[in-house]
Amino acid sequence: MEAFDDIRRSVKSLCAGFPGEYWRTLDAERAYPIAFVEALTQAGFLAALIPEEYGGSGLPLAAACVILETIQAEGCNGAACHAQMYTMGTILRHGSAEQKAHLLPQLAKGTVRLQAFGVTEPSSGTDTTAIRTFARRIGDHYVINGQKVFTSRAEHSDMMLLLARTTPRDQLRRKSDGLSVFLVDLREAVGISLRPIRTMMNHATCEVFIDTLHVPATNLIGEEGKGFRYILDSMNAERILIAAECIGDARWFIRKAADYARERVVFGHPIGRNQGVQFPIARAYAATEAAALMVKKAAALFDAHAPCGAEANMAKLLAAEASWQTADMCVQTHGGYGFAEQFDVERKFRETRLYQVAPVSTNMILAYLGEHVLHLPKSY
């Protein structure tokens, strides 16, 4: 725990150099936080999960959770760079020795960014096995055609982890077979075009159009057709890490609301003395601390290479709900000032709302738990 406490202090110190004014300016300009991401890179935080032999810190996922939670708790936004952590689940566990030796040292040094995860498509949404992007093997290359949507940070990434079909779905008994994962070098790619999607928060996401993209066969991760299993490691890591971010958001909202409730005087006394103000803050705090325990449990299972699908999903569900509960409470506590940009509450309110939907919606998590944990009939 002492090592993690040191990490928390270091991240907090770094974030102090990027106060609310920095994020408000970026939000107004819809700009990517280049300076913030560079600072995290130079401090080694984005290389936390990369093994030491490749130049990284070799830390467990639990440490990465601390990094991202602290970023959010300090009022910053880790969504600008968190993919470089959760994509490690696929690369470290399923990448070849040659792929890791080539890519990981560059990621650790910060000379290459792996920030894009190309999975979701307009016609498939949450049904990953229904994707249509297709990769056909021709000699020593794959030729890929298709489209992705809500591929965040592709404009600011050098590499992308891309999921594509390599066997038509109608030729398979199991729809999760026939999917493959590729490392795509966006710097050299001919046949990829990006179209930014403007959203309610400053979240660099876009559509990706893929037209006759040639990818070397050496960029295939693991075995052809086994990609769905490979990306589950990244998806579980993604859900756990984003759950940690939600915990950080929730703690920021609670601190912000409690501070305001102590200082704001109406009718001659602090509003925090009123149970109508105090109880929602206390209830949000309890929900946050309970969700934080599930995040810790899920991270521990992931680090132990134990099955953690249910725990990763529950961590994401509970943490996202806690962060949204605290966000709503914080706005209500501030009243009209909760909508004023200078307090940062409305910005963080918009940012944390995303996680009721992404990277997997709360309803799909409930459906997963119903079918795979409680053994109820499939609901979709």
CA dihedral 56, 77, 114, 300 (to 10 degrees): 50
Chain segment 254-309, per-residue pLDDT in tens? 999 999 999 999 999 999 999 999 999 999 999 999 999 999 999 999 999 999 99
Residue 262: CB atoms within 10 Å: 12
Closest C-alpha to 197, from 209, 188, 181, 211: 209
What are the C-alpha distances in Å from 155 to residues 158, 159, 186? 8, 10, 9
Q: Note whether 88 and 99 are within 8 A (CB).
A: no
Collapsed DSSP state (helix, strand, coil) of residue 307: coil
Return the active site residues: 238
- What is the model's pLDDT at position 245? 98
In the chain, the domains with their CATH numbers are 2-109 (1.10.540.10), 114-228 (2.40.110.10), 232-373 (1.20.140.10)
DSSP 311: H
One-letter amino acid at 169 equals R
What does pTM read for this prediction? 0.96
Quick one: pLDDT at residue 1? 45
- Measuring CA to CA, which residue among 154, 173, 171 is closest to residue 162? 154
Mean pLDDT value of segment 100-117: 95
The band of 25, judged by pLDDT with boundaries at 50, 70 and 90, is very high
pLDDT of 69-79, one tens digit each? 999 999 999 99
Q: How much is the pLDDT for 2? A: 58
Query: Exposed, middle or buried: residue 159 (CB in 10 Å: 0-12, 13-18, 19+)?
Result: buried
Q: Tell me what the mean pLDDT of segment 91-107 comes to.
A: 96
**Mean pLDDT to the nearest integer, 148-172:** 96
pLDDT single digits (tens) 198-256 = 999 999 999 999 999 999 999 999 999 999 999 988 999 999 999 999 999 999 999 99
